[in-house]
Structure 1
Amino acid sequence: MAKNDNVQPAKPMTKRQRARWDQERKQSSQVLLIAAAAVGLAVLLIGIGLVIQKVIVPNKTVANIAGVEVSNAEYQQYRQIMQAQQAVNLAQQIQQYAQYQLQGTEQFATDVTNYIAGLKDKNAPLDYTVLNQLINDKVLESNAAAEGITVSDEELQQSLAAKFAPANEVMNPVAPVTSTNGLTDTASLTPTQTPTPTLSEASARVDSAITTYFGTLREFIEETSSYGLATLPFDRNAFKDFVLHQERLQLLREKLGEKLVTEDQATKEIYADAQQIFVTAGITEPTDPLTATKWAQAKTKIDDVAAQLTSTAVFTDVQLANTTNNATDNPATGMRPLTEYAALGITEPISTQQVGVIGEPYQSAQGWHIVLVHQRELRPSQSDLATKRDEAVTKWIEEKRAAANVQRFPEPTATTVPPTIEPIPTTIPQPTTDPAAATATPASEATPTTDSAAPTATTASEATPTTVVTPTP
């Protein structure tokens, strides 16, 4: 091979060139190290962020109840399910308001938007109203067992099955008192009683109802374009657990209320089982020029009905013959509180008329009535009983919560209540006109006047509080 005379051997680098080359190589290495460190730091920060968001934040403690911790994840799911239900309920109210052209739909729409927007935030700031409700639920549940109060799975399923029963199926039928439109009685068709479902049947009904409701809730929130939430932050199983748990808490409250307040502690109220035959006067306006004529016609008709009532035995037959409610086959209303008869305008004959005797025609603001009272007695008022039991349970939970040393993290900031400013008096005591009283008297010897015409000043500490008595319904 011929030797290439054009190839020149490399010249050795000078000291200056060697120093520059070493410096550039070091700089390149430093740049690579810095870039690698930056990438590593970014990956580390992303990892830390994911750990904080997925592990630390959901598992951080937001409340402690007698040593039992409530995690942020539990609170957030509780809040989200409640807000989703509130959004749906408010949307239904908007439809009702719009149907009757009522005001207030704008505020409802804003609330719905806010509720659904809150579903997007998995780590929303604490809403202490929601957190306090969650804490009260846990206090009730943890302390009820100590009172010997429990709810079995069968009780739970049967209770929900009754609430989810179809409209035409009544497990505990109660004949409602109907309105007095036209010539009709207070009785209405008693729904046919259906057998109590078995546990498996009740569970199947509950499961089906919850599935249907969850589907409606998800459809509303996910497919309503004006709100635009892509996916619910909880699934059907979580929603079902929430519904079952809330029903269990409700049953615990009811049982606890029955233990804390017995029926004999409630105000007594008149209950009666009665029938009526009603003839409307057909008055729509007080200034109706035909008022006298319509009342006369109604009186003639009620007198004709009264003539047919020869005995209590024929009351039902006459009632059915003169009613526009052809479906009526159970003429008795059952034992009802007197307040339920108030809408019919017949509380007076119901409470005073002799039992078992057909009353004389009775005139109310709507028309004429003939009443037959089958039974009447004093019973504990169920409305008063429910109020007292609810108050007793609320007080019981407050006491148990205070004893449990509940802590919230963070605790809400205390708000300063502004001092109460007493209003400036608007009346000025008038000076006496008695000449004898005009003589100056030392303040230490002055006797306060008792003139009824002059107002007497009373300090706030001496004022006697006024007791407002609320009549029992």
Structure 2
Amino acid sequence: MAKHTENVQHSKPLNKRQRARWDQERKQSTRVLLIAAAAVGLAVLLIGIGLVIQKVIVPNKTIANVAGVEVTNAEYQQYRQIMQAQQAINLAQQIQQYAQYQLQGTEQFATDVTNYIAGLKDQNAPLDYAVLDQLINDKVLENNATAEGITVSDEELQQSLATKFAPANEVMNPVAPVTSTTGLTDTASLTPTPTSTPTLSEASNRVDSAVTTYFGTLREFIEETSTYGLATLPFDREAFKAFVLHQERLQLLRTKLGEKLVTEDQATKEIYADAQQIFVTANITDPTDPVTVTKWAQAKAKIDDIAAQLTDTASFTDVQVLNTNDNAVDNPATGMRPLTQFDALGITQPISTQEVGVIGKPYQSTQGWHIVLVHQRELRPSQTDLATKRDEAVLKWVEEKRTAAAVQRFPEPTATTVPPTIEPIPTTIPQPTTDPAAVTATPTGAVAPTEAVTPTP
């Protein structure tokens, strides 16, 4: 059957004008495509360059040189961020304390917290030379301590932190200061009960648990409960733990260096004593109370009765136990302490003048009546004066070593800055104080002091 082709129309050949126009349009389309492709390629290149600068070049940029060892921007930024996160949460705790007791000065605190947290958002914040100088000083100390024969073992490090992170019901330091009679019942013991030193494994577990707890508190504050707008904490638990361990190692190095630079015989001397007391409170809440005289008379009668029971020094503890409200005196002696630690108890006078080993006569203080037995008394180097002199010696030593190391900062600051005080890592989860007297108002506009590099779990 024949095909019907009579309705098929064939295109006519382009004339010269039409072909020229078609060629021109095709060239324009090709040019547009090339320009668009070049623009996309340039954009991708710029983004890539930006990412390389942001993720590789800027973090690895050298910002300081300490005796030939480079300090990178990434190392500095993490150091700064962990410090600022701790300062933020500690200031927030102070705000709660000030608000609890309706004290003034929280406005400046809140501004500082806002600034600290805002700083956490910037992974490449401009150099704060005060922070950088503290980081440099840490490196100078660490780099030069070994030459002085000073090292810190992992066991020393773990045991030191385990002591700081001891549970609240454990007293790791058997000579902790006695500061007040507040809360003491009649003849209450003055001595905390010492606990055994944990094993290395126990110490390590305690430190790990405490750091985890504190880091969780820090992250919750920054990410969940904070009203300051930060989404995530810019460092993880492992980085935080490494920071805690490193700061504690530095602190132990400072302590050992101080002991080497300043010996005990270079400190001023003060009285130390090991004393035991039987205490009868006068239960006075208001000095103007008309029954005050009666209360004092009752307390005097009780102390006289107790004195009659004391036949010799051997009976002192037995009599103390019998006259203690809770009938429990685990360790009645105080251990050797500076005389100043007995100031708040009102018994420095009998402790400094009584004959050693002789039961004293009833002694009246502003708190009540006391019978004191001094077991030992001697002049010893003042630990307060010794600590001050050692701190000063370490600071001078670090400055001398830093000068010798020809430290460079890039760029060098144009103005002199004062290095900050590194805040120790808290050793307990921050809680508002319950003692109004412990909170001191800071005038508006003043910056309140911030506590590790060692954190408080």
TM-score, length-scaled by structure 2: 0.83
- The one-letter code of the counterpart of 1:335 is M
Whether contact under 8 Å (1:345, 1:366) holds in the other structure is yes
Whether contact under 8 Å (1:270, 1:379) holds in the other structure is yes
- Cα 1:102–1:186 shift into 2, 3 Å: same
- The one-letter code of the counterpart of 1:199 is L
Residue 450 (structure 2) aligns with: none
**Aligned match of 1:193 in 185, 190, 195?**
195
Tell which deviates more after alignment, 3-12 or 339-348: 3-12
- Cα 1:325–1:271 shift into 2, 3 Å: farther
Residue 385 (structure 2) aligns with: 384
- Cα 1:2–1:193 shift into 2, 3 Å: closer
- The one-letter code of the counterpart of 2:15 is M
Residue 338 (structure 1) aligns with: 339
Give the SS at the match of 2:277: strand
- Cα 1:186–1:346 shift into 2, 3 Å: farther
Tell which deviates more after alignment, 366-375 or 348-357: 366-375
Which deviations, in whole Å up to 9, do the C-alpha atoms of 1:430-468 show, x marking residues without a partner? xxxxxxxxxxxxxxxxxxxxxxxxxxxxxxxxxxxxxxx
- Cα 1:301–1:242 shift into 2, 3 Å: same
- The Cα RMSD (Å) is 2.5
Give the SS at the match of 1:271: strand
Deviation at 1:267, TM superposition (A): 0.9
Residue 245 (structure 2) aligns with: 244
Aligned-residue sequence identity (percent) comes to: 83
In the alignment, is residue 367 of structure 1 matched against residue 371 of structure 2?
no
TM-score, length-scaled by structure 1: 0.80
Deviation at 1:91, TM superposition (A): 2.5
Whether contact under 8 Å (2:175, 2:336) holds in the other structure is no
Deviation at 1:36, TM superposition (A): 1.5
Deviation at 1:21, TM superposition (A): 4.1
Which deviations, in whole Å up to 9, do the C-alpha atoms of 1:115-142 show, x marking residues without a partner? 2222221111112221111111111100
Residue 413 (structure 1) aligns with: 414
Whether contact under 8 Å (2:175, 2:191) holds in the other structure is no
Query: d(CA) in 1 for partners of 2:397 and 2:122?
Result: 34
Tell which deviates more after alignment, 161-170 or 338-347: 161-170
Give the SS at the match of 2:58: helix
- The one-letter code of the counterpart of 1:184 is D
- The one-letter code of the counterpart of 1:115 is Y
- The one-letter code of the counterpart of 2:290 is P
Query: d(CA) in 2 for partners of 1:208 and 1:107?
Result: 34
- The one-letter code of the counterpart of 1:135 is I
Whether contact under 8 Å (1:168, 1:191) holds in the other structure is no
Deviation at 1:6, TM superposition (A): 8.3
- Cα 1:114–1:5 shift into 2, 3 Å: closer
**Aligned match of 2:15 in 9, 13, 37?**
13
Give the SS at the match of 2:371: strand
- The one-letter code of the counterpart of 2:164 is K
Query: d(CA) in 2 for partners of 1:311 and 1:407?
Result: 70
Tell which deviates more after alignment, 361-370 or 117-126: 361-370
Residue 153 (structure 1) aligns with: 154
Q: Which of the pair has the greater relative contact order for Cα pairs under 8 Å at 6+ separation? A: 2
Residue 70 (structure 1) aligns with: 71
Whether contact under 8 Å (2:267, 2:381) holds in the other structure is yes
- Cα 1:315–1:198 shift into 2, 3 Å: closer
Unaligned 5+ runs, structure 2: 418-457
Whether contact under 8 Å (2:354, 2:360) holds in the other structure is yes
Deviation at 1:356, TM superposition (A): 1.4
Deviation at 1:390, TM superposition (A): 0.8
Whether contact under 8 Å (1:187, 1:331) holds in the other structure is yes
Whether contact under 8 Å (1:279, 1:369) holds in the other structure is yes
Whether contact under 8 Å (1:183, 1:322) holds in the other structure is no
Deviation at 1:411, TM superposition (A): 1.9
Deviation at 1:303, TM superposition (A): 3.1
- The one-letter code of the counterpart of 1:317 is D
- Cα 1:358–1:12 shift into 2, 3 Å: closer
Query: d(CA) in 1 for partners of 2:341 and 2:191?
Result: 17
Q: Which aligned pairs between 1:43-122 and structure 2 lie closer than 5 A?
A: 43-122=44-123
- Cα 1:138–1:6 shift into 2, 3 Å: closer
Give the SS at the match of 1:58: coil
Whether contact under 8 Å (1:176, 1:333) holds in the other structure is no
- Cα 1:6–1:362 shift into 2, 3 Å: closer
- The one-letter code of the counterpart of 2:12 is A
Residue 225 (structure 2) aligns with: 224
Give the SS at the match of 2:378: strand
Query: d(CA) in 2 for partners of 1:138 and 1:392?
Result: 17
- The one-letter code of the counterpart of 1:148 is G
Query: d(CA) in 2 for partners of 1:2 and 1:375?
Result: 132
Residue 452 (structure 1) aligns with: none
Whether contact under 8 Å (1:176, 1:188) holds in the other structure is no
Whether contact under 8 Å (1:175, 1:334) holds in the other structure is no
Whether contact under 8 Å (1:60, 1:72) holds in the other structure is yes
Residue 165 (structure 1) aligns with: 166
Give the SS at the match of 1:386: helix
Residue 313 (structure 1) aligns with: 314
Aligned length: 414
Deviation at 1:104, TM superposition (A): 3.0
Query: d(CA) in 1 for partners of 2:207 and 2:400?
Result: 34
- The one-letter code of the counterpart of 1:142 is N
Residue 422 (structure 1) aligns with: none
In the alignment, is residue 133 of structure 1 matched against residue 139 of structure 2?
no
Deviation at 1:23, TM superposition (A): 3.6
